[in-house]
Amino acid sequence: LEFPFSPQTKHLKHHLVHPGSPSVYRLVPKRRTTTGTWTRITVTDRKPHQSNKTMVLVGETGTGKSTLINAVFNYVQGVTWEDDVWFEIADKDKTSSQSDGQTRTVTVYEMCGGGTVDLCVTVVDTPGYGDTRGVDRDQHITTGFLDLLCSHEGVDGVDLVGVVLKATDNRLSDRLLYVWDSVTSLFGKDLDRNMVALISHSDGMKPEDALRALEDAHVPLSKDQNQEPLYFLFNNRQTTPRQKRTVRHLQSSWQTSTDGLKELMDFMHKREPQNLKTTLEVLQERIRLESCIRKLKERNEAVEIQQTLIQQNHKDVKTCEEEMEKNLNFILEFQQVYKDIKDLNFYEAVCCLRCEETCHSPCPFALKPSCCKVMKDGNCGVCSGRCPASDHVKKPWKYVEKVIRVKRTDEERKTRYEQNKAEMEKKMSLLEDLEKNLEELTSNKHKSLHEAYGQVLHLDQIALNVDSLSTYVHLDFLIQKMKETGDAEKVQKLEEMEGRINERTKAGLSYMKKKIGSMETSENY
């Protein structure tokens, strides 16, 4: 099969996607390996003498990053307008509404030219930020980029960071502010001279509105000798069918992209490549901060639960004490009347033994009870039982009533007292354990708080985007918790950082919170 390949591309394995003008071919990469959260695609191998340039592409979903990757490949392969052919190695971008449920990984494309452009280019493609799958998915991109930098087979230097956006992006929506904040939050300050704007869907004119939007969003682009932000223009119509009425415009669009790519390659040749030590440090610190904040919130929640338990136990102890107080006097004292015998020194008395009563005292004349004048018809007329005389005695003593104080235990009250006492002792023991545990939890909470504070300060020193939403979103919480410790100096520092945030960043934060809220809502169904 004959096909109009340029000499540099005849050796590439391919299959035809659709014929026509131009004919579009899908290339079969020589190697494709996935390591953790990133993938390496080797399209063409590097020759020993060839130098390599590395670019990282970042941006919103649907801005044309994949088309730009294809354009870079065609450029280094020396594909021209006259070849009437186009090669694709990357899938076309999907808009945020078209994104499916699959989570794309960070992808490294290795492509080497062999003709007019004797150069190897490594393109690191980060999946687009800000699609409908939530903040967790965006954090997955950060993790993938970190894994790439940490890997021995990854990327250890960068010549260019390209912020890809459409020439028509002239309005700073909350969503776009969030996307650009996420993008710039990936890098350290060491990349401030290597970040440029890559303008897609360009008509070849200076993208005034897009550049103004980038400036308003404080995206830190590299500057030219006139202190103007550096940008490169690209058009995305390489695969549009060439018809008689459109061919001149399409050829002009092709030339716009070719000029942009040539300028881009010249820029990378002139700029010193940056090692990613600080960027790696930023990524690690941001992930550590997220982990530390998560741990801090868990520990704060544990402290609050512990405090609630302690408060409840204090109430329970107080209730037990009140109940004990109510039932404290379970031993009752009262006066009791009893009968006793009182000796008579000079006379005798007649007493009823059955009734234990003195019937006649003194009784000086009767020789025996039956002879006592209180007896009538053989029975006593005085004692309660009107007992017979035989139940009586005449002795030198008599019955008297006396009063004695008697103690008696109220068993029901005693039981309540002892139950509450045992319960109080149990609660007191539990309270002691809870307070000891609270002390340990509070110590761990303060440790996490001060670790998070240190990470925020460190990011402020090394990050390209010092006002990143990923930091700002936690400041309110950190300030509140730091106030609880009474450390006024640290509170002041955090409040100064919070006060530095502008309205644009707050708008991006609003979008971020909406994403988090919608994600949490979807998880509840």
Q: Is the pLDDT confidence value at 114 over 70?
A: no
What is the chain's mean pLDDT, rounded?
85
CATH number of the domain encompassing residue 270: 3.40.50.300
Within a domain: 468: yes
For the record, the structure tokens of 56 come out as 């990282």
pLDDT of residue 409: 75
C-alpha distances in angstroms, 496 versus 483, 493, 506? 14, 5, 15
pLDDT of residue 10: 66
For the record, the structure tokens of 473 come out as 């979103």
| CA count, 13 A, side-chain hemisphere, 328 | 6
Percent of the chain scored above 90 by pLDDT? 42
Within a domain: 516: no
Q: Which of 101-110, 449-458, 495-504, 515-524 has the highest mean pLDDT?
A: 449-458
Is the domain of 251 the same as that of 349? no
pLDDT of residue 99: 41
Closest to 126 measured CA to CA, from 143, 145, 139, 111: 145
Handedness of CA 453, 459, 462, 464 (dihedral sign): negative
Is the domain of 138 the same as that of 206? yes
Neighbouring-strand partners of residue 108:
40, 124
Q: Which residue range is the domain that position 156 belongs to?
A: 7-275
Does residue 74 contact residue 117 with C-beta atoms inside 8 Å?
no
Burial label for 117, CB within 10 Å (0-12, 13-18, 19+), is: middle
Q: Is the pLDDT confidence value at 240 over 80?
A: yes
- Domain ends where: 409, 427, 445? 409
- For 99-180, list the strands marked E by DSSP: 106-112, 120-125, 157-158, 160-166
- Averaged over 334-352, what is the pLDDT? 90
Q: Are strands 331-343 and 392-395 parallel, antiparallel or unpaired?
A: unpaired
Rounded to a whole number of angstroms, the CA Rg of the chain reads 48
pLDDT of residue 521: 44
Is the domain of 187 the same as that of 299? no
Contacts of 219 (CB under 8 A, 6+ apart): 163, 180, 183, 184, 195, 197
C-alpha distances in angstroms, 107 versus 32, 137, 412, 474? 10, 15, 79, 30
Is the domain of 339 the same as that of 311? no
- Averaged over 211-220, what is the pLDDT? 84
For the record, the structure tokens of 162 come out as 């390209």
Question: pLDDT grade, residue 137 (50/70/90)?
Answer: low
Within a domain: 302: yes
Is the domain of 344 the same as that of 444? no
Is the domain of 356 the same as that of 257? no
- Averaged over 372-400, what is the pLDDT? 94
- Domain ends where: 409, 433, 464? 409
Q: Which of 100-109, 293-302, 510-519 has the highest mean pLDDT?
A: 293-302
Question: Helix (H, G, I), strand (E, B), or coil: what is residue 380?
Answer: strand
pLDDT of residue 110: 92
Is the domain of 212 the same as that of 225? yes
Is the domain of 477 the same as that of 491? yes
Handedness of CA 18, 22, 28, 31 (dihedral sign): negative
| CA count, 13 A, side-chain hemisphere, 92 | 11
Within a domain: 506: no
Is the domain of 356 the same as that of 430? no
Q: Is the pLDDT confidence value at 1 over 60?
A: no
pLDDT of residue 73: 92
User: What pLDDT digit, counting tens, does each position of 53-101 carry?
Assistant: 999 998 887 888 999 999 999 998 888 999 899 999 987 654 444 444 3
What is the number of domains present in the chain? 3
Task: For residue 355, report the phi and psi dihedrals to the nearest 5 degrees.
Answer: -85, -10
Q: Is the pLDDT confidence value at 203 over 50?
A: yes
**pTM, rounded to two decimals:** 0.70
pLDDT of residue 105: 77
Please give the full DSSP string across 458-487, using - where no structure is assigned. Answer: HHHHHBS-TT-HHHHHHHHHHHHHHHHHT-
Q: Is the pLDDT confidence value at 7 over 70?
A: no
Is the domain of 120 the same as that of 161? yes
Write the single-letter amino acid at 451.
E
The more confidently predicted of residues 328 and 25 is 25
Return d(Cα 302, Cα 287) in angstroms, integer.
23
Within a domain: 287: no
- Averaged over 413-437, what is the pLDDT? 88
Within a domain: 79: yes
Return d(Cα 106, Cα 114) in angstroms, integer.
26
Return d(Cα 289, Cα 282) in angstroms, integer.
10
Question: pLDDT grade, residue 46 (50/70/90)?
Answer: confident
Is the domain of 200 the same as that of 247? yes
* Residue with the two structure tokens 């919608």: 518
Q: Is the pLDDT confidence value at 190 over 90?
A: no
Return d(Cα 190, Cα 360) in angstroms, integer.
124
Write the single-letter amino acid at 290.
E
Within a domain: 450: yes
- Domain ends where: 409, 440, 471? 409
pLDDT of residue 386: 95
Within a domain: 508: no
User: What pLDDT digit, counting tens, does each position of 153-174 carry?
Assistant: 778 788 999 999 899 887 666 7
- For 101-155, list the strands marked E by DSSP: 106-112, 120-125
Does residue 81 contact residue 247 with C-beta atoms inside 8 Å?
no
Q: Helix 277-326 crosses helix 135-150 at what angle (to 10 degrees)? A: 130
Question: Helix (H, G, I), strand (E, B), or coil: what is residue 348?
Answer: coil
Is the domain of 179 the same as that of 207? yes
Write the single-letter amino acid at 265.
M
Percent of the chain scored above 70 by pLDDT? 88
pLDDT of residue 218: 80
